[in-house]
Amino acid sequence: MLLLTLLLSGCGPAAGEAADPPGESVGQRAIQNKGSDTLVNVALAWAEAYRQVDPTVSIAVTGGGSGTGIASLINGTVDIANASRAMKPEEIESAQANGINPVEFVVAIDALAIIVHPDNPVERLTIPQLAAIYTGRITNWSQVGGNDADIILLSRESNSGTHVYFLEEVVRGGEESEQIFAPQTLFMPSSVGITSEVRRNPNAIGYDGLGYVDPEHEKILAIAEDENSPYYEPSVETASNETYPIARPLYMYTAGEPTGAIQEYLDWIRSPAGQEIVAEIGFVPIEETP
CATH number among 3.40.190.10, 3.40.50.2300, 3.40.1280.10, 3.30.530.20, domain 29-109+249-281 = 3.40.190.10
Q: What is the mean pLDDT of residues 44-53?
A: 97
Would you place residue 15 in the very low, low, confident or very high pLDDT band (cuts 50, 70, 90)?
very low
> CA-CA distance, 81 to 251, in Å (whole number)?
8
State the Rg of the chain over Cα: 23
Backbone φ and ψ for 222, nearest 5 degrees, come out as -80, 140
- The 10s digit of each residue's pLDDT in 234-266 is 998 899 888 999 999 999 999 999 999 999 999
pLDDT at 29: 87
In terms of CATH, what superfamily is 110-247?
A: Periplasmic binding protein-like II (3.40.190.10)
Q: Is the pLDDT of residue 12 over 80?
A: no
| 110-247 matches 29-109+249-281 in CATH topology | yes
Would you place residue 72 in the very low, low, confident or very high pLDDT band (cuts 50, 70, 90)?
very high
**pTM of this prediction exceeds 0.85:** no
> CA-CA distance, 70 to 148, in Å (whole number)?
42
Average pLDDT over the chain, rounded to an integer: 88
Helices (H), the chain: 2-11, 40-53, 66-75, 89-97, 127-134, 161-166, 191-200, 236-240, 260-269, 272-281
Q: What is the mean pLDDT of residues 71-81?
A: 97
Q: What is the mean pLDDT of residues 107-126?
A: 96
Q: Is the pLDDT of residue 17 over 50?
A: no
Backbone φ and ψ for 239, nearest 5 degrees, come out as -75, -40
Q: List the single range of 90-99, 266-275, 279-288 with lowest mean pLDDT.
A: 279-288
> CA-CA distance, 114 to 235, in Å (whole number)?
12
Q: Is the pLDDT of residue 161 over 80?
A: yes
- The 10s digit of each residue's pLDDT in 268-279 is 999 999 999 999
Would you place residue 14 in the very low, low, confident or very high pLDDT band (cuts 50, 70, 90)?
very low
Sequence ranges of the domains in the chain: 29-109+249-281, 110-247
Q: List the single range of 1-15, 103-117, 268-282 with lowest mean pLDDT.
A: 1-15
Quick one: what percent of the chain has pLDDT higher than 70?
89
Q: Confirm if 261 and 29 have CB atoms less than 8 A apart.
A: yes
pLDDT at 28: 61
Higher pLDDT, 212 or 3: 212
Q: Is the pLDDT of residue 211 over 90?
A: no
> CA-CA distance, 198 to 280, in Å (whole number)?
24
pLDDT at 190: 86
